[in-house]
Amino acid sequence: MPRLLDSLPLLYRDLLPDFFRQDVPEESKATCSNCAMSQDSAQGAVDSVDGVSRMFRPDTKCCTYSPRLPNYLVGALLSDDRPELAEGRRRMEAKIASRVGVTPQWVKPPAKFQLLYKNGHQFFGRAASLRCGYFSADSGGCTIWPYREAVCSTFFCKYVAGADGRKFWMSLKTYLTLAEIQLSRWTALQLLPDYVLTGRDRAETQPGPLTVEDLDDTAPPAKAYAALWQGYEGLELDYFRECYRMVKALPPDGVEKLLGLDGTIELKTLEKLHHTAVAPQLPRTLKLNPDATVQWMQDGSVALGAYSEYDAVALPGEAYGLLVDFTGREPVDAVRKHLREHKQADLSEDVLLELYRHRILVGE
């Protein structure tokens, strides 16, 4: 199995606690090179609900999200002269030159995009107008992948461990987001202290109403931009590279110290959820989830979904008929014995575990 660190930017490999060297199941169901949710893919067994497609466009896939990249990851990209990242560097340099969404802490999407994204969840993966500016339509991949941020590092359309896997990766996203916030604030404090001391870093987490510049996707007024960047105006590339050098030079316990008590709590939560994801156990009792979606297929099988609109479990139709016996009133072993004696059928522990992980069956 891959290590948890293998799913994260290289920069973190010498900075994060030992826990991140743990093995994690490979998320083999969420395939980027052969998108499991693409309209062109044969992997999507259930492609619509109530007549509305849930599949992704092949020329967007799940990349209808634009990342908020912390200053040190921007600097890491700009400092990486590998030819395969030339297009990503070009796009990043163009983004910085535009001054739209460029601050001492982040290079982020325009405020207008955030408004559209927040209010257009139903179009995720389907709206070309929301396609990430770092996505390559030609290759179907990301031009800055080695320096992706927390959301892009932890999102999967389907999880090998089902709902438990999603909880684990979402907890990892919380931890990484905290690290991004604190590391980007720390570097800004060293290089542009007024940015932090005047609270501008906190204001970025509480966006105000849109401005004319936000609506038109144009740079902020020159005076406001100059006040934001002070002595680094026009030297933004150098600033971001220096942020990267500072973070890279941190001692092994540097990140933990910066994250403090919040980081300790999030790490303990992450450790607990990791154990559940890699070593699941069936509850003593199970019942059929009344909120599970059921879609009968033309071949007589049935697709069941619960924890995610993107991930379904396919069962033979006759197997679905056995699930109603799981009412939560009797232990699992007793229900299985009843099925064997009265219906000459059974559901193995592996099948029950898969159904539980997908929350088709839920514990009492």
> Which of these three, 246, 278, 310, is where a domain ends?
278
131, 187: one domain: yes
Weakest-pLDDT range from 43-47, 167-171, 318-322: 43-47
Do 156 and 214 reside in the same domain of the chain?
Answer: yes
Residues 211 and 89 in one domain: yes
Residues 49 and 128 in one domain: yes
Q: Are residues 262 and 336 in the same domain?
A: no
SS (H, E, C) the chain: CCEHHHHCCHHHHHCCCHHHHCECCCCCCCCCCCCCCECCCCCCCCCEECCEECCECCCCCCCCCCCCEEHHHHHHHHHCCCHHHHHHHHHHHHHHHHCCCECCCEECCCHHHHHHHHCCHHHCCCCHHHCCCCEECCCCEECCHHHCCHHHHHCCCCCCCHHHHHHHHHHHHHHHHHHHHHHHHHHHHHHCHHHHHCCHHHHCCCCCCCCHHHHHCCCCCHHHHHHHHHHHCCCHHHHHHHHHHHHHCCCCCHHHHHHHHHHHHHHHHHHHHHHHHHCCCCCCEEEECCCCEEEECCCCCEEEECCCCCCEEEECHHHHCCHHHCEEEEEHHHHHHHHHHHHCCCCCHHHHHHHHHCCCEEEC
Looking at residues 156-172, what average pLDDT do you find? 96
Structural domains of the chain, count: 2
Last residue of a domain, one of 278, 309, 342: 278
Same domain, 129 and 144: yes
Q: What is the pLDDT of residue 112?
A: 87
- The answer on 19 and 110 residing in a single domain is yes
Please name which of 71, 66, 67 lies closest in space to residue 180, comparing C-alpha atoms. 71
pLDDT of residue 328: 96
Which pLDDT score, from 0 to 100, does residue 41 have?
53
Q: Are residues 252 and 316 in the same domain?
A: no
Q: What is the pLDDT of residues 292-313, one digit of tens each?
A: 999 999 999 999 999 998 999 9
Token pair for 121: 């969840």
Same domain, 273 and 289: no
What pTM was estimated for this model as a whole?
Answer: 0.92
pLDDT (average), residues 133-153: 94
Domain that holds residue 314: 285-363
Domain boundary among 229, 248, 278: 278
Give me the CATH number covering residue 355: 3.90.930
Q: Are residues 100 and 249 in the same domain?
A: yes
Closest to 78 in 3D by CA, of 68, 67, 93: 93
- Do 108 and 29 lie in a common domain? yes
Residues 82 and 146 in one domain: yes
